[in-house]
Amino acid sequence: MIKRMLLREVEYARPESVEEAVRLLGAHDGARALAGGQTLVNVMKARAASPEVLVDLADLDELRTIGRAADGALELGAMVTYSELVRSPDVTAARPLLAEVAATIADRQVQNRGTVGGNVCVNDPTNHLPPLFAAMGATFTILGPGGERSVTAEEFFLGVYMTAVSEGDLLTRVTIPALAAGSADAMEGITLGVHGTYLASAAVAVSPGAVRIALGCVAGVPERATAVEQRLAGAELTPENVRAAVAGLGDTLDPPSDVHAPADYRRRLTEVVCERAVLAAATRAKG
Amino acid sequence: MSEPSDSRTISVEINGTTFEREVAARRLLVHFIRDDLDLTGTHIGCDTGNCGACTVQLDGLAVKSCMMLAVQADGASIRTVEGLASDDGELTPLQRAFTAHHALQCGYCTPGMLMSATTLLEQNPRPSEHEVRAALQGNICRCTGYWNIIEAVQAAAEEVSAP
Amino acid sequence: MSVAPEVTESSTYVGQSIPRKEDGRLTQGQGVFVDDMKRHNMGYIHFVRSPYAHARIVSVDVTAALEAPGVFGTLTGDEVAILTEPFFQIAPAPGGNIKDYALAVGRARFVGDPVAAVVASTRELARDASELIEIEYDVLEPVVDARTATDPRTPLIHEEVGSNESWSGTYDWGDVDGAFAEADHVVSIGELHFDRFNSTPLELDAALVEYNRGTGQWTIHCNNQFPGFAVIMMGPSIGVGLDKLRMVTQDIGGGFGNKITSHPQLVACCLLARKLNRPVQWTETRTDFHQSMSHGNERWFQDVEVAVKSDGTMLGFRCKALDDAGAYLRYEPLGGAIWVQVAPGMYGWRNIRVEYSQVVTNKAPVSPNRGYSRMQHLWLCERIVDIVAHELELDPIAVRKLNYVQPEQMPYETPSGCVYDSGDYPRALDSVLELIGYEGIEARRADAKARGKLLGFGIGSTLDSGTNNFAQSTYLNPDLQFSGNSEVATVKLDIFGEVVVTLGTTPQGQGHETTTSQVVADIVGCSTDAVTVRVGHDSYWNSHAGFSGTYASQFAVSGLGAVKGAADGLAAQMRQLAALVLGAQPEDIELGGGFAKLRANPEVALPFMALGAIVNVNNANLPEDFDATMNVRHVYRPHFEPLDLERKFGNLTLTYAMQIHACVLEIDPETGVYEVVDYAVIDDCGNRINPQIVEGQVMGATAHALGAATWETFAYDEEGNLLTPNFYDYHVPHALDMPPLKTGAIESPSPFSALGTKGMGEGGGAGIHAVCAALQDALRSVGGGIVHDSHNPYHRVFAMLQDPAAARADVKVENA
Amino acid sequence: MNVEGTREFDASRERVWAIISDPAGMAGLMPGVDGFEIIDPTHWRAKVKVPLGLGGLKMTMDFEQLEERPLEFASMRGKGKGMGAMMDMTTSFTLSGEGDHTHMAWEADVKLAGVLASMGQRVLQPIINQQVEGIMSALEQQLASPA
């Protein structure tokens, strides 16, 4: 029960088209998409989960593209790796912070395999991309037996390890609006070691007159700090104003405790990283 | 068509040799390399993908072979520590620098370190100290404290880049 | 350009940083670690471990597992109880009544305690079958806090002991009450805690075990780092003589003490190899290791009182020490005596009383970990210095210099009778201050403040005692028949003139092949390339003794002492033979460059090849009384006087290397997050055979300390679940986490070792002391919280920032 | 781990009680119940699949009714065993309120062993909160529909 490292029996398929992938996911009970596997394979080694069928998305080239929509929005295929985000001129042009954050996820080896789709579908509370995408106002395109649908971050993230991607569904794409003039993003976190697991994180998107804030590590889904957003709407983002707006944020949260951060400490950290992220985004927006 | 099955015949090029083997779907790439092909230079030091001892190059990128199924490597080209030295046994500048700078003690993390560092220097021949550290972040060493490893990688970069 | 280290013009190899002989194979993936080995038809062992910290094992049913595909067989605790005797216990009764077997018998006592084992044809099938072993548990209340372990309401972990206390004893040296009567100030600290962690070597414990039915002999390929101890535990348990247990090691991927106590698993492997009549293989997983193997001793220091004169001179201290041994005494209670090697730390304190007790808990068993038991105590000594300095508003550097044992006192006999062999501690402190640029520290503090950071500076000084006198075990149990120490080396001259060295040690990265070749080459007169040092340990080589292994900072003294003895012996025989052949006296012969030459006329020379061949294959004409074998085995034994058990007095280690660390860190006051921004270490381990290897040990130990100070902890919840069961939550520092480091060395040769060397490798604990000191220094300006724990994660620092009064509530000063 | 909370329902205590005191009613509220079996009036068993994105956590839970004071208080113990996790949970509900209003105070003491216990601390509380939220919402929904 405690021993790890070796997977249970599993079946494996490597479809050549998105449609075939969706068919396979729908046809087999307990089927699960295998993207980069940088979480899933570990969980399977621990035998904490054992899907019966793995549908490897590796050959689905259409999920590997990074593109720009007509309105400039950034379209990220679900199988785009963190390393590809780091190197992409499109990402750097549309939402540069995304590349910066991707460069701090785990380590180089994981960045070479881990994917955008895997990161958000796992939705571990400590993951980088869920709060970041929530703050950026991303939409998620899901292909299922009934066709394609797009959902917002609020609709996408349902709980720890739970998203709107249900059995038989496949996340194909994440779409992120391009930064408008006078807008900027920032993400701040406290990690276990440099570039380590987040103990607290806050992603912020500042646009003229508005601030979107999503907090990681405090709940099963990225938590929008809506009260802080409202207090800051239209306000000048000075250190004093931001501090005042963030004050009391921790008391509204119900974060978990673990060996690295008791709940109260996590509340405090979340206030600090929230404040810092808003100020960092404001500075960038000016710059 | 690709229907699910619990094993597959895969074809993988490793250090220039192509291996075609039937492998269970659940077999980890690292066990395929170590147990099935007997290339035991690639090591295992953890269960969670943290330590990097199993790092190999897959199509030119450093990856952790314990976080991949062997079937996922079908069609790929892999390089392991055994593939670093030339056929006539000449070591790479990085391998020599590891010795010269005492960048290893027990040597257990060394293969993974070398694969990460080799990949770094291929992509970035003159890395800064910070870039070296960042490239090695996914490889744990419990003997050296990393300082000599970082020094060795920088020295090898200098040697290779020297006019 | 060349990247080779500079080899200085010198007539000797000793003292030079020659490149390591080991590295060629290790940089090419050609090392042989245990898990790399395979045998035809071998089976893979998988241990089924308890998910409960404390539970009665009601039943174990292996029926379904035996029917599973590929399964060769199983082993259960009930079988083990029939087939083996419980392991020998070092502790006297009642602690010694503990019954410890290769598998849990009747009761599981920690999460990860192995309850059954299954063997199958592949790793995956063994793992599959393990899920079919049905184990019924009756869950019992766990004991996870050492401080309540002896409370009468706390359940007993080993009923045969009658208590959860495994050993206790009082150490009382000097005139403690007199010292307190004489003191101007008494500084008291309610409770200090040294945390639980270990060095987590990257290679996990493993074995490949073969059984020879015909001879009844096992060959145990493993990575145990103290085979001498392992077989003493295993032989009586299985009921066989030690020669039936052939221990073989090759490359070992780190040990740090953590690979000493794998004997329970090795016994299980032996039983399975015999039962199934096939080679069996076991490789632990990372999670297995964290949950079950060799945690460092967790220790509480309670009611600490320090007697201080007004100038800061400390006369001594008294305290209680409470050691948490975990569930079984695998190497314990030796930790209860080992710390005595360094009872006063580096200080001239003459009056010390420690009421020591050790308890068992439902956590993984503790066993040696780099700095074993001394690190805990030295941390206490350093905490005492920094807390006293803080409370009396004295300079911690001045207080150290004032209290250090002074160079003119060397060799210095401590109040417990240990003898510090040599060293100049104040000079070492000055050196480290120079390395770190201490004169600029206040400017750096101001700069940090301007950036909103709290800068802290701290010193950690530490001893690295090596070459144990195993008689120290009789402090715990006078009936034990252990004393002294031993190590073996064999040096031979082969037929073609090759010098071959066999060691009894089990290096795990310390470069024994290299340093051995340096010592031998100088003595025998050849190049280090001409010296082959066999890899690893093999008891068939008959080049080992009872204490053989690699542990406890001793190779440079005991290992190389044996090497030197054997090489001296071989050189004498070579001179003897050359003299015979050349018609001269042995003293007329000089060895050098691979030749035995006539001193007076070096043109007259015999190559080593001739010497090797004459004795081995061309010996008909040798005189009948010629007795040189060209194969010399030497046993190194240090001399120790008998201990005074009544007073617990006597010398426990031969040499005392030392390190002083200096740490500069910055705290973010808003979060408690801190970063070590500058770091320096001075090491003095006497003569250095290979300075680069010594520096490597200093660096590695420093990294361990920095990890333990901030991130690495084996933390348990109330149910006895380990919350850091692998590298996901047990954060080992990586390349981005490491601060800049400067190192320096002083050489104070030991008068007691053959080469003037001192064993080293374990001094890194000073990093923990230095970080604690630096944190406390940084907190000085914001309420003066006192650092009470060796492990300071960010939230603990934040708590000290938030409520400094609470963080100093149990620290008091009474003035006379 | 101890978790607790309160919840208000626009329904009489009798209606709330009728559902929570009935094993089948309870099973109907729990998310991901795959199968359900009543062993005797105070013991029942449920096969649960906690829907997690990584494949779902399957557990067989054995429930035992511990104490019951109709309309006021109920407590039960559930022991579960599944992949990588052993759970031992004691939970209780206290009802108060008059007329068409019910106030429920609930608490649960959850003990875990196995891989989730050691590696899942960080996500455990959010998962339990999700489960409880699921149960309470289902109860609310059931109460909202005509009796």
Residue pLDDT, tens place only, C526-553: 999 999 999 999 999 999 999 999 999 9
Residue A4 — pLDDT band, cuts 50, 70, 90? Answer: very low
Q: Say if CB C258 and CB C200 are below 8 A apart.
A: yes
Element (H, E) at C692: helix C691-710
Distance from CA of C677 to the nearest CA of B (A): 14
D77: left (phi over 0), alpha (psi -120 to 50) or beta: beta
Q: Would you call B69 and A41 a contact, using CB atoms and an 8 Å cutoff? A: yes
Cα distances (Å, whole numbers) of residue B20 to B27, B74, B75, B113: 15, 9, 10, 28
Q: What subunits make at least 3 CB pairs under 8 angstroms with B?
A: A, C
Q: What was the pLDDT predicted at D51?
A: 65
What average pLDDT does the segment C275-304 reach? Answer: 97
Residue of chain A with shortest Cα separation from D51 = A162
Among the partner-chain residues C36, C695, C732, the one whose CB lies closest to the CB of B140 is: C732
pLDDT at C5 over 50: no
What is the 3-state composition of chain B as percent helix, strand, coil, each rounded to the nearest 5? 40, 20, 45
Sign, Cα dihedral of C425, C429, C434, C439: negative
pLDDT digits (tens, 9 = 90+) for A242-282: 999 999 999 999 999 999 999 999 999 999 999 999 999 99
CA-based nearest distance C725→chain D, Å: 7
CA A160-A164-A170 angle, 5° bins: 115
**A36 in Cβ contact with A57 (< 8 Å):** no
D86 backbone dihedrals φ, ψ, rounded to 5° = -120, 130
CA pair distance D92, D77, nearest whole angstrom: 9
Q: Which of A46, A124, A162 minimises the CB distance to D115?
A: A46
In the structure, how many helices (H) and strands (E) does chain B have? 5, 5
Minimum distance, in Å, between the CA of residue B28 and any CA atom of chain C: 10
**Ranges of H-type helices in C587-632:** 608-617
pLDDT in tens, B46-82: 999 999 999 999 999 999 999 999 999 999 999 999 9
- CA nearest C417: which of C629, C594, C647? C647
* Chain C residues inside the 8 Å CB shell of B106: 201-203, 251-255, 508-509
d(CA C325, CA C570): 46
pLDDT in tens, D30-84: 877 888 888 988 899 988 877 665 666 778 889 998 999 999 999 999 888 876 6
Q: What is the pLDDT of residues C603-653, one digit of tens each?
A: 999 999 999 999 999 999 999 999 999 999 999 999 999 999 999 999 999
DSSP C603: T
Share of chain C above pLDDT 70, in %: 99
3-state secondary structure of D122: helix
Of C51, C139, C726, the CB nearest to D114: C51
C164, C152 contact by CB (below 8 A): no
Q: Give the 3-state secondary structure of residue B132.
A: helix
* pLDDT level of residue C7 (50, 70, 90 thresholds): very low
Which residues of chain A are within 8 Å of residue C123 when distances are taken between CB atoms?
5-6
Residues of chain A in contact with residue B61, where contact means CB-CB under 8 angstroms, are 83, 112
* CA–CA distance, C486 with C546 (Å, rounded to integer): 7
Three-state secondary structure readout of D62-74: EEEEEEEECCCEE
* Span B83-94, average pLDDT: 96
Please report residues of A whose CB lies closer than 8 A to that of B8: 12
pLDDT value at C10 more than 70: no
Residue B77 has phi, psi (to 5 degrees) of -110, 125
Angle between the C374-391 and C396-403 helix axes, to the nearest 10 degrees?
A: 120
Which residues of C are less than 8 Å from B141 in CB distance? 202
Q: At what angle are helices C766-779 and C691-710 packed, to 10 degrees?
A: 50
Give one word for B75, left, alpha or beta, with left for phi > 0 and alpha for psi -120 to 50.
Answer: left
D127 touches chain A (CB under 8 A): yes
From the CB of residue C159, how many other CB atoms can be counted at a distance below 10 Å? Answer: 12
Contact A161 D126 (CB under 8 A): no
For the stretch C188-203, pLDDT in tens is 999 999 999 999 999 9
Q: What is the pLDDT of residues A196-237, one digit of tens each?
A: 999 999 999 999 999 999 999 999 999 999 999 999 999 999
Provide the mean pLDDT of chain C: 96
Q: Where are the beta strands (DSSP E) in chain A?
A: 11-13, 31-34, 53-56, 66-68, 74-77, 139-144, 147-152, 157-159, 162-163, 170-176, 184-191, 198-207, 210-216, 223-224
Torsion region of C578: left, alpha or beta (phi above 0 gives left; psi -120 to 50 gives alpha): alpha
Q: Strand D73-82 to strand D57-69: parallel, antiparallel, or no bridges (unpaired)?
A: antiparallel
Parallel, antiparallel or unpaired: strands C165-173 and C71-76? unpaired
B35 CB-near residues (< 8 Å, 6+ apart) = C38, C123
- Distance (Å, whole) CA D95 – CA D93: 6
Residue C217: Cβ within 10 Å count:
16
pLDDT at A1 over 70: no
Q: For residue D112, what pLDDT band results from cuts at 50, 70 and 90? A: confident
Please say if the pLDDT value at position C301 is more than 50: yes
pLDDT higher than threshold 50 for residue C6: no
Chain D residues near residue C144 by CB distance under 8 angstroms: none
Q: Does B138 touch chain A (CB under 8 A)?
A: yes
CA distance C360 to C372: 18
Q: Name the pairing type of β-strands A184-191 and A147-152.
A: unpaired
Instruction: State pLDDT tens for residues D19-39.
Output: 888 888 888 888 778 888 889
pLDDT in tens, C117-128: 999 999 999 999
Cβ-nearest to C124 among B26, B41, B48 = B26
pLDDT of C573: 98
CA distance C550 to chain B (A): 13
Torsion angle (degrees, nearest 10) of CA D10, D14, D16, D19 = -150
**Mean pLDDT of the region C509-527:** 97
For residues B81 and B41, the answer to whether their CB atoms sit within 8 Å is yes
pLDDT at D128: 82
Tell me whether B74 touches chain A (CB under 8 Å). yes
CA proximity to C653, closest of C551, C574, C771 = C551
Lowest-confidence region among A16-30, C293-307, C768-782, D131-145: D131-145
Least confident of C289-298, C495-504, C674-683, D133-142: D133-142
- Most C CBs within 10 Å, among B14, B27, B108, to test the C interface: B108
Q: What is the pLDDT of residue C113?
A: 98
| A50: confidence class by pLDDT, cuts 50, 70, 90 | confident
SS3 (DSSP) at C139: strand
A3 pLDDT more than 50: no
pLDDT of residue C739: 98
A181 touches chain C (CB under 8 A): no
pLDDT of residue D53: 56
User: What pLDDT score does C593 carry?
Assistant: 95
- Nearest C-alpha in A relative to C133: A1
Average pLDDT over residues C152-159: 97
Query: What span, in angstroms and rounded, lies between the C-alpha atoms of A217 and A128?
Result: 10
Q: How far is A175 from chain B (nearest CA, A)?
A: 27
